[in-house]
Amino acid sequence: MIKGNFDIPLDFLQTSTPPMIGVDISSSSVKMLELSEAPKKNGFVVERYAIEPLPSDAVSDGNINNLEAVSEALQRAWKRMGTRIRNVSLALPAAAVISKKIMLPAGLREDDLEYQVESEANQYIPFALDEVNLDFQVLGPSPNNPEEIEVLLAASRKANVEDRVAAAQTAGLKAVVMDVEPYAAEAAFNQISSQLPAGAEDQCIAVVDIGASVMNVNVLRNGQSVYTRDQQVGGNQLTQQIQAAFGLTAEEAEAAKRNGGLPENYESDVLAPFRENVAMEVARALQFFFT
């Protein structure tokens, strides 16, 4: 583990790490997932999962505004799962992280590599280094120069990290990994890429994550992100449209969206236009990529 200011491992689901639970803290809920290795299937099996809703505005724009509410939701989800594992892996939204791929000389010792990374970080991070958590990961040889290596640098304000760690600790959990959401999605995609034609080799694959308020489009090629974009569209918009169309409160609209019981014209008048809008936003994000 890198010492000092370099204390956010970017690796996800390493075989050398202790058993842990994956945790996603979004604007609408907290989600927990426990996996186990399945060597015969060369992958993982879902053992347990839980979803607990959050009060509105407890989390907004990736920032935790109500630490107590998030901690309580984490604690409820953990109890519902019935697991003994208390180590958790968390992730920061892309908007809270400054990331940059840099080239460094190959063959550096770890101490020299850390020094070089910190020196390079000063060029890209608009904050004092003692105000951020900083880490890096060696991606491999430079594609254009065999005497260099490609290194991924990532940094985030300490408050972003500390809020998530504090929420876990208050819930009786221990944060052992702080990932970055797009990188976690890449790691998850790598578990299923073999199921795609030609193993998705030399192909551009778009991974679309539609959340409550933001949709993220991440285009991957050979296991690495080549393009990412956030669009302001998500499930909250559908809830608001249900609320307006049928005269419901926000809570009633959200419950009806999840559990059903809406009038017959719901699908044609509300759901279908929402689907078309989401599809249009995905197409728009991909069009930016194509250009």
Whether 152 contacts 10, CB under 8 Å: yes
Q: Please state the φ and ψ torsions of residue 7, each to the nearest 5 degrees.
A: -130, 25
**d(C-alpha 241, C-alpha 269), whole Å:** 10
Whether 12 contacts 177, CB under 8 Å: yes
**d(C-alpha 268, C-alpha 265), whole Å:** 5
**d(C-alpha 135, C-alpha 266), whole Å:** 48
The percent helix, strand, coil of the chain (3-state, each to 5) is 40, 30, 30
The helix (run of H) or strand (run of E) holding residue 123 is helix 110-124
**d(C-alpha 56, C-alpha 157), whole Å:** 24
Task: Determine the distance from the C-alpha atom of residue 34 to the mean position of all C-alpha atoms in its chain, rounded to a whole number.
Answer: 16
> Domain 98-154: which CATH class?
alpha beta
Does the domain at 192-291 match CATH 2.60.120.10? Answer given as no
pLDDT in tens, the chain (291 residues): 333 344 444 444 344 457 899 999 998 899 999 998 877 666 788 999 999 999 988 998 888 999 999 999 999 999 999 999 999 999 998 888 988 888 999 988 888 888 888 888 888 888 888 889 988 888 889 888 889 999 988 999 999 999 999 999 999 999 999 998 888 888 888 888 888 888 889 999 999 989 888 898 989 998 778 888 888 899 999 999 999 999 999 889 999 998 888 999 999 999 999 999 999 999 999 999 998
Using a cut of 0.75, tell me whether the model's pTM lies above it: yes
- Give the domain ranges of the chain: 98-154, 192-291
For the chain, counts of helices (H) and of strands (E): 8, 13
Q: Please state the φ and ψ torsions of residue 248, each to the nearest 5 degrees.
A: -105, 160
Whether 175 contacts 168, CB under 8 Å: yes
